[in-house]
Amino acid sequence: METQKKTDPRARILEVADRLFYAEGVRATGTEKIMSIAEVAKATFYRHFESKDALVLAYLENRDQALWDYLSHPTPAEDLREALTKFEQMANWPEIIGCPFLRIASEYPDTAHPYHRLAIEHQNKILDYLTDRLKPFAIDKRAAAAAILSVIDGAFSIRMLYGNSKVVPILSPAEAVLKSFQSA
């Protein structure tokens, strides 16, 4: 606990919120619980986040940034296969219990809700990323990227459903999808 108290209160709040929002859901996680676990006073919490909404948006922005940091570390994927391998590795990390953006979209199904809109933006960025990795292929890149994204989302949904009791493949099903576009 000593080292936790020495860290930045904003970082502690975000770390606790990330863990709880991801595991328990946004609606089920109150700010009082976050403040208690993060060991911050209410005034400290509201100095860093004007509301729970602001905290949820920061959580989603951090999750989005974490994905892009992961995909570019140590270097960006040079091709689709490398990118899909990284997604498959991530989907099978023991702590992964689904896509945080799909989880939040299911909690807030109104597509006009700010959280849901961020989930859509996140998906669209991944779609753009996959479309870019498909440049060498003489196919409908956007449609193929959407189909491959469905494979990725399906893998994360399987993790949400079964936990880490199953290894979820992404690379081989995505390559099969790509092959179907090449033979069309």
Q: Return per-residue pLDDT of the chain as tens, 184 residues.
A: 444 456 899 999 999 999 999 999 999 999 999 999 999 999 999 999 999 999 999 999 999 999 999 999 999 998 999 999 999 999 999 999 999 999 999 999 999 999 999 999 999 999 999 999 999 999 999 999 999 999 999 999 999 999 989 899 999 999 999 999 998 6
CATH architecture, domain 64-182: Orthogonal Bundle (1.10)
Q: Domain ranges in the chain?
A: 1-50, 64-182
CA 8 to chain centre: 24
**Run of H or E including 128:** helix 114-133
**Predicted local distance difference test score (pLDDT) of residue 48:** 97
Closest CA to 56 of 28, 77, 84, 82: 28
The sign of the dihedral angle between the CA atoms of 141, 147, 114, 11 is negative
Helix (H, G, I), strand (E, B) or coil at 8: coil
Q: Are 145 and 127 in contact (CB under 8 A)?
A: yes
- Residue 126: closest CA among 166, 161, 77: 77
Note the pTM of the prediction, 2 decimals. Answer: 0.92
Q: What is the CATH number of domain 1-50?
A: 1.10.10.60
Cis before 74 (ω within 30): yes
* CA separation for the pair 156, 168 (Å, rounded): 8
